[in-house]
Amino acid sequence: MKPTIDYKIPKKILTPTSGFLYGYTHSLNPYAGCSFACSYCYVRQSPVGLFRKQEWGTWVDVKQESHDKLSREIKNLRKRDKPVTIFMSLSTDPYQPVEYKELITRALLEAMAENPPDFLFVQTRSPLVTRDIDLFHKLREKLRISITVETDDDDVRKRFTPQAPPIQARLKAISQLKEANLPVQVAVAPVLPFSNEFPKILSSLVSRIVVDDYSGDGSQGKRSERLNIRELYKTEELDTWYGKNTYQLAVEKLKQSLSSDQILISQEGFMPY
C-alpha cells in the first residue's frame, strides 16, 4: 500500500540535537514519516510517530523549499561562528521511495555542497543512496555514509522489515560506494539473526562496522519493548538473538573476520569523527 503523501513548508529544516546524538549540532530530516515502516523503528514510539494518529509507514510529509532554507540556516550559523555538524536522518530514511520523485534529499545535498557543514553523517538502508555519488564526492572530506544491514538473511529481513530494500541490493550499494572511494560503514543496528557467513561478507566490503541492539532506541530499549518486538522472535531458532546481550553475541561472531578496532558499539559508531 502506498503511503499518503502531503506537502508542507517547515519553518526550519535543521533541528538542534541532544541525547544520543550529543556529538552533533543538528539533525536533518528531509521528510516526516517513513514508508519503510520497520517493525522495530523507535520513531513509532516517539512524538512524531504517536501524535500523528496514523499508523507508522502509511504517511509521509514532503518538506518543500528545503534547499533554500538549509542554505540560509547554514549561512546564519556561520555568521555567528557556530559549528555545523549534521546527522541525516534521525527520524526518517532520506532515501525512502518518495525520494525517487521528490528529490528533497538531493536538493539538501546540493545546498551542502554549496555551503559545506563541518561534518555530515548520512544514515540510510536504501540503495538509492548511490544516485548521489557525485554530490558525496564534493563533501567527501567531511562525510560518512552509514548503510543499515542488520542481517544477511533476507527471510529474516522480510520478517522484521518487509517493506525495506532487499539485503543483496544494499550490499551492492555499499560496494559501489566503496569503489567510488567514499567513506562508508555498515550499521548492524539493531542486530537481527545472521548467518556465520555474514562477518566474512562485511569484512570484504568495509573496514568499519557499528553494532547496536534495541537499547539504542533512545530510551534504553523501553520504546522497543512497547512495540512488542519480542513476539517476532518466538521461534527456537531466533529466540537466542533477543535480549540484553545480543550485541555482544554479534560482536563475538563479527570478530571471526574483523578486528576489534573495526567494530564500534552503539553511539561511538555514529559520532562525527
97 φ, ψ (degrees, to nearest 5): -50, -35
Cell numbers that stand for 231 in this block: 513476539
Give residue 244's Cα distance to chain centre.
22
**Model confidence pLDDT, tens digit, residues 58-70:** 999 999 999 999 9
From the list 97, 23, 12, 15, the residue with the least C-alpha distance to 272 is 23
Q: Are 151 and 193 in contact (CB under 8 A)?
A: yes
**Mean pLDDT across the chain, nearest whole number?**
90
161 φ, ψ (degrees, to nearest 5): -140, 65
3-state secondary structure of 60: strand
pTM as predicted = 0.93
Cell numbers that stand for 194 in this block: 545472521
Contacts of 27 (CB under 8 A, 6+ apart): 14, 15, 17, 21, 86, 87, 88, 89, 90, 91
**Model confidence pLDDT, tens digit, residues 156-196:** 999 999 999 999 999 999 999 999 999 999 999 999 999 99
**Model confidence pLDDT, tens digit, residues 53-103:** 788 889 999 999 999 999 999 999 999 999 999 999 989 999 999 999 999
Instruction: Using only the alpha carbons of the chain, give its radius of gyration.
Output: 18
Domains and CATH numbers, the chain: 4-270 (3.80.30.30)
3-state secondary structure 73-89: HHHHHHHCCCCCEEEEC
